[in-house]
Chains A and B, each alone.
Chain A
Amino acid sequence: ILNVEQSPQSLHVQEGDSTNFTCSFPSSNFYALHWYRWETAKSPEALFVMTLNGDEKKKGRISATLNTKEGYSYLYIKGSQPEDSATYLCAPTFDGTASKLTFGTGTRLQVTL
């Protein structure tokens, strides 16, 4: 089983703070990296998928970057809001022929007023 690490494990910030977290993965045989947002009592929802080294994606206040050579991705949240509270999961795929994602354990973000 491939090792995908996310850090920090959990994060507690105040409303308005900007924050970022990391996903590390093996760089060999890499095809794509997915980021998912998982709110408590709901199911994971897709945020981004990236494939190329240097890729950057943005969705509102959330953005992500990808470094395939060294095997990491950063997720940034600018001006955190309470509704951003969730667990953020990264999932690289090393199998280009099927949807076989390897999920990290996630970063749990809590944003308070």
Chain B
Amino acid sequence: EAQVTQNPRYLITVTGKKLTVTCSQNMNHEYMSWYRQDPGLGLRQIYYSMNVEVTDKGDVPEGYKVSRKEKRNFPLILESPSPNQTSLYFCASSLRPRGGPAGTDTQYFGPGTRLTVL
């Protein structure tokens, strides 16, 4: 089954304790992104990657790191989590458009990771 998986789905941690949220897709997609969702705000992009070893900052990258060593995986790393990073996180992937209009690739979202930082 084509899907985007995230782990863990729920995590409660304490300030300063490094953590990694994994994201994996089995659709051979080039593009992958991380978003956070907070009440009253839309999904905000943290980082995105256009291909292996190619990553770039989204709108809210502070406090996060990512890596893209393999096409299928795009982990999100919080080196020193803080309470303001308590949020619902989504990973998404999409296929680079081939011949079609730019920006039309459909993003497929993972199930989400609810993170609480105490």
Contact = CB atoms under 8 A, between A and B. Distances in A.
Interface in A79-109: 89, 91, 93, 95-106
B61 interface: no
The majority secondary structure among interface residues of chain A is: loop
B107 interface: yes
Interface in B39-73: 40-45, 48, 50, 56, 58-59
Contact of B59 (A1, A45, A49): A1
A31 B103 CA distance: 6
Contacts of B31: 98-99
Contacts of B101: 31-32, 51, 96
A96 B40 CA distance: 27
B81 interface: no
Given A43-B90, A105-B42, A99 B112 contact: no
A44 B112 CA distance: 10
Contacts of A96: 101-103
Interface of B: 4, 31, 33, 35, 40-45, 48, 50, 56, 58-59, 90, 92, 94, 101-112
15 contacts: A31-B101, A32-B104, A43-B4, A43-B90, A44-B109, A49-B106, A51-B104, A91-B43, A96-B101, A97-B102, A100-B45, A101-B43, A101-B45, A103-B44, A105-B42
Interface of A: 1, 4, 31-32, 34, 42-46, 49, 51, 89, 91, 93, 95-106
